[in-house]
Chain A
Amino acid sequence: MESSPTPAGHRVDPLGDPFLRTCFALPARPVTFLPRPRLTRHLDQALRTPLTMVNGAAGAGKTLLVADWAAGLARAPAWLTVESEEKRPGMFWAYFLHALRACGSPVSGQVDRPADANRVSRRMLSAIAEDLEGRSPAVTVVLDEYDRVTVPEVAEQLDFVLQHAGQGLRLVLVTRTEPMLSLHRYRAAGALTEIRNADLAFTPEEAAALLGRHGLSLPVATARALVQRTRGWAAGLRLSALAAQHSPDPETYLKEFEAGRSTVADFLLAEVLKRQPTQTQDLLLRVSVLDRLCPDLANALTGRSDADRILSELCGSNAFVEQLGHSWYRLHPLFGEILRAHLRVRCPGLEPELHRRAARWLRGAGSLRGTLTHGAAAGDWEFTAGALVDDLAIGQFFTGLRSDDLARLFSRMDPGAGGPAADLVRAARDLSQSDLDHGTAHLRHAEARFATGTADPATAQLCCALLEALAARLSGSPARAERAAEAADEVQPGVPSHLLDKHPELPALLLTHLGSARVWAGRFEDARVSLSKVVGSPAGASTLLAREESLGHLALIDYLNGWTDRAEHKALEAVSGTEQCGPFGPAGSGIGRVVLAAVAVDRDELARAEALLDEADGQPGALHDPVTAAGRAMVAARLQLARGNTRAAVEAADPAVSADVASPWADSAETLVTSAAHLAEGRGESAAEVLRQLGDGRPACAVEAARIQLAVGNAGAAIDLLDGVPGARPAGPAVTVRASLVRAQAADASGDAVSARRLVAQALHEARRERLRRPFLDAGRWLRPLLVTAPLNQLAAGWLRPGPSPYGPPAGLGGPPWPIVVEELSAREQDVLERLAQMMSTQEIAADLFVSVNTVKTHLKSLYRKLGVNRRSDAARRGRDLQLL
């Protein structure tokens, strides 16, 4: 390990498990291995071409050939034996990067590590390619058993990295099936070295030499016939050597085999197997259920203690077993399959029992992944669920890292499987899909079992508290969430600390759920306490989603208090984590995007707001919680109001969530939209009437209510409302700007032009920095004459009104100051604008849209007016500036 401190991401894979060391070891060649110079020479070309493919049937001798070649290289290549876990892009690239570290050529620390097992970003791949591009000499990476990568994305990503790494990367793929890279392109460019099955086939001379290594001296004619019978297949030759070794007359034996018509591996394996001592046969059959094994695990399956000796003997004679290093072995994959078939015939019904023993051994050895796999294969659900709960790993149902795997694994769970752990797993599975009814029912079952049990393990109680907090959040029940959090605090001291260290996601998720429930209740300060704890704890792959959710909720609190800029910063941070992992990050509730949409509405960037809402909706498997639903409804309604669609606004304002208790801010948001809609439709009475239902005393509410009161002519009520706003906790600019505008309007109406001007100037000053345009657009007609006269016109220039600003561009996230689009473009105008930007003529646009030239001219005219331009080229440029294109 390095001396400098490294982030946890360097030692563990995206699932938070340590890397499997055996994947990075160059496979050892057995003593009977026959070096084949014609092939190693061929492989030397691999140092000159970006891509090399060694492609052949199982048991064709691919791996040992490449390992032999690699061992002879001056610079050790990075070696990665792909495991089935690594077929997912995030896992694959994590292992890829670790293989580079393991061979002493790590990529720079600047390159991100994949955080999500399922995805990697294009940016990360570019960074990897860029890092490799500078390498001289090139780094060679061997990917053995690449056929296990069945996901097309990985092939596409490898292709990308290979293309962009130039001369810095030499990739060697060892695979049974042809990889989904565009091989023809590499071939045409002379950039591919290929060794295929036919090349790997043994020649009669090589076969004779191989048999010689097994102590069999045979005439070339016999070897030739054997090569014909086995098609030069390495595994076939090796097995025939092993079978003949034990025969009194090997040559006759081989002749008989040559004459036979049985399938080669099948026949020979049975022959070799039956010549082994009974204990060896028994061990081989039993361990065939394992991917990899060590002597102790093998002993657990046989119930004996002779595995160490047997395995090293088998390994020495190169029969069935390969050494992985660190005293781990595996069966040759080809023989493993056939041995399993033999196991089923010889010991029917033993397989589940073997899986059960393997699961128990692996649990004792601390391998949760293996425990779950074998426990599920054994159909021992009570045990398997118990292992997950006892490991405190139930939070992984919700972290997006392993949630799919867990859901799939436990989807086969027998509905009759008993025990509180099984109920907890069922509850987790249902709640992760926002199925509140079933989830809660399972949770109650589990709790009932706890109540009757005598000794309650603290870990199970803590898992239960997490699920209870989630159920409370989803059902909008703050009191329940508080009780769950208290229960968690009570049991936590009883939970082994190493488990808590291993699963930071559990407390993080719990605090997030608690925070969300507190937001629902409108208890923003309490919510901030628990959410900030999550954000303040060290970042890691497993807590990524909880962090994002917490940031998203904190952003919502800021937004509701009028702190637009702060809300945007937090929301951007919330969504950027998932964006690193591609367009569809692990599924949270989408609250971050909802807040960004809310900010966009306040800035009158309506198209952007709509796109963000669509993105928030488009998240597959998103959690349906009332806070997000209410937030979304609020933003969608405000968006419709801004567009003047009052009816749609009222419809959108109803969040359609069923919650145990009402949420003050969600209710008042709905009320205010309804009132504003009445106002917009000219029903001042109704607007004022609706406002009476408003029970929320938050400044943001009071100010909006004041605006409506003033608009319907109740100036006194409006000022009372504003004066009643508690000054203890200052509200953000989105609130104070609106308040100033209401006071300005009141002043203007009463003829106090000086005060009105002063108040508008104050509002412009405050709003300018955050580009808050919506309050001015909502303010009404009285404001227009003020904004065009000095000095207010200068304060408004550059962000609210067209024209250069004497104050420079408003601060913010950078980028050009966007002059306001006073009116949204119609769908047709948008169509015309897009075609304009593609340099299409008026006639072409007309033909493309199936309308007359005159109609296009009409659209152009209104388009120019809305964009404040006079020429086509300016329209296109302005359209781009405004992000309409």
Chain B
Amino acid sequence: MRYEIRVDGMMSDTLAKAFPELDHVVMSGQTVLYGFVVDEAQLYGLLARCQSLGLHVLEMRQVPG
């Protein structure tokens, strides 16, 4: 499953290293983390990680491909 997680604010490259399994792109005041997610467990883990990094999740969706 490919997912993208859109968080508020422009993430620094350093912080993006906290998501080594995902790629990221910064656009118009938001950061999109995207990549392959193995299963739901990993998905929830990623969300929890966003939370513990103080990130504000705006959107999360599965993308085709």
Contacts and interface: CB of A to CB of B under 8 A. Distances in A.
Contacts of B51: 57-58, 176-177
Contacts of B56: 231, 263
A338 interface: yes
Given A262-B12, A263-B9, A264-B9, A338 B53 contact: yes
A650 interface: no
B10 A58 contact: no
A443 B12 CA distance: 51
A262 B9 CA distance: 5
Nearest to B9: A263
Contacts of A160: none
Nearest to B49: A337
A228 to B, nearest CB: 13
B52 A341 contact: no
Nearest to A348: B17
Given A262-B9, A263-B8, A263-B10, A338 B18 contact: yes
Nearest to A235: B54
Contacts of B43: none
Interface residues of B, number: 20
A334 B14 contact: no
A333 interface: yes
A449 interface: no
Nearest to A344: B17
B14 to A, nearest CB: 5
A236 B9 CA distance: 13
Given A261-B29, A263-B8, A263-B9, A342 B14 contact: yes
Interface string A490-515: 00000000000000000000000000
Contacts of A333: 52
A65 to B, nearest CB: 17
Contact of A266 (B9, B29, B49, B52): B9
Interface string B1-38: 00000011111111101100000000001010000000
Contacts of B8: 263
Given A261-B29, A265-B53, A265-B54, A337 B18 contact: yes
B17 A341 contact: yes
B10 A261 contact: yes
Nearest to B13: A345
Contacts of B7: 263
A285 B13 CA distance: 17
A270 B10 contact: no
B46 interface: no
Which residue, of A59, A177, A233, A266, has the highest number of chain B Cβ atoms within 10 A? A266
A61 to B, nearest CB: 13
B63 to A, nearest CB: 22
A267 interface: yes
A334 B52 contact: yes
Interface in A335-361: 337-338, 340-342, 344-345
Interface in A257-306: 261-267, 270
A233 B54 CA distance: 9
B12 A266 contact: yes
Nearest to B44: A150
B55 interface: yes
B59 to A, nearest CB: 15
Interface in A201-251: 231, 233, 235-236
A266 B50 CA distance: 11
B9 A261 contact: yes
A106 to B, nearest CB: 34
Contact of B54 (A59, A270, A344): A59
Contacts of B11: 262-263, 266
A334 B56 CA distance: 13
Which residue, of A177, A263, A333, A340, has the highest number of chain B Cβ atoms within 10 A? A263
A338 B15 contact: yes
Which residue, of A235, A262, A342, has the highest number of chain B Cβ atoms within 10 A? A262
Contact of A263 (B17, B31, B49, B52): B31
Given A261-B10, A262-B9, A341 B18 contact: yes
A858 B49 CA distance: 67
Contacts of B18: 337-338, 340-341
A333 B53 CA distance: 9
Nearest to B52: A337
A58 B54 CA distance: 6
A342 to B, nearest CB: 6
A31 to B, nearest CB: 23
A267 B15 CA distance: 9
Contacts of A176: 51
B10 A341 contact: no
Contact of A57 (B14, B17, B54): B54
B9 A337 contact: no
A345 B17 CA distance: 7
Nearest to A340: B18
Contacts of A235: 54
Interface string A536-552: 00000000000000000
Nearest to A345: B14
A337 B8 CA distance: 18
A334 B55 CA distance: 10
A334 B54 contact: yes
Contacts of B12: 262-263, 266-267, 270
A341 B14 contact: yes
Contacts of A231: 56
Which residue, of A270, A338, A344, has the highest number of chain B Cβ atoms within 10 A? A338
A231 B14 CA distance: 23
Contacts of B53: 265-266, 334, 337-338, 341
A233 B9 CA distance: 14
A58 B52 contact: yes
A742 B29 CA distance: 94
Nearest to B14: A345
B9 to A, nearest CB: 3
A236 B18 CA distance: 19
Nearest to A176: B51
A336 to B, nearest CB: 8
Contact of B15 (A233, A261, A341): A341
Contacts of B55: 263, 265-266
Nearest to B16: A341
Nearest to B31: A263
8 contacts: A233-B54, A235-B54, A261-B10, A263-B15, A265-B54, A340-B18, A341-B18, A344-B17
Interface of A: 57-59, 176-177, 231, 233, 235-236, 261-267, 270, 333-334, 337-338, 340-342, 344-345
Given A261-B9, A263-B9, A337-B53, 12 more contacts: A58-B51, A59-B54, A235-B54, A263-B8, A263-B11, A263-B15, A264-B9, A264-B54, A265-B55, A337-B18, A341-B18, A341-B53
